[in-house]
Amino acid sequence: MNRFEGPGSNEAKVKYLDSDFQVIVPGTYVRCAVTGQKIPLDELKYWSFARQEPYVDVKASVQREREMRNRG
């Protein structure tokens, strides 16, 4: 078990801004909108301001972009 798992770990609620994010409800992680993986807040690098979604990596971000284009 790492420091982000266990009884003290909670999912944070986050507002995603253009180049930063603001924690609304404290927690240790958010879930990737594509994969469902836990992303520790101190490792969060990819998100969509427009969709208010976090992504575990650039691959997940690009995948979501493609999904959204194909819907339109």
pLDDT digits (tens, 9 = 90+) for 18-66: 999 999 999 999 999 999 999 999 999 999 999 999 999 999 999 999 9
Is residue 10's pLDDT more than 80? yes
Is residue 1's pLDDT more than 60? no
Is residue 5's pLDDT more than 60? no
Bridge partners of 67, per DSSP, are none
pLDDT given at position 9? 82
Considering the domain boundaries, does residue 35 fall inside one?
A: yes
Q: Count of domains in the chain?
A: 1
Considering the domain boundaries, does residue 64 fall inside one?
A: yes
DSSP 8-state class, residue 25:
E
For the entire predicted model, the pTM comes to 0.85
Considering the domain boundaries, does residue 1 fall inside one?
A: no
Domain holding 65, by residue range, is 13-71
Considering the domain boundaries, does residue 43 fall inside one?
A: yes
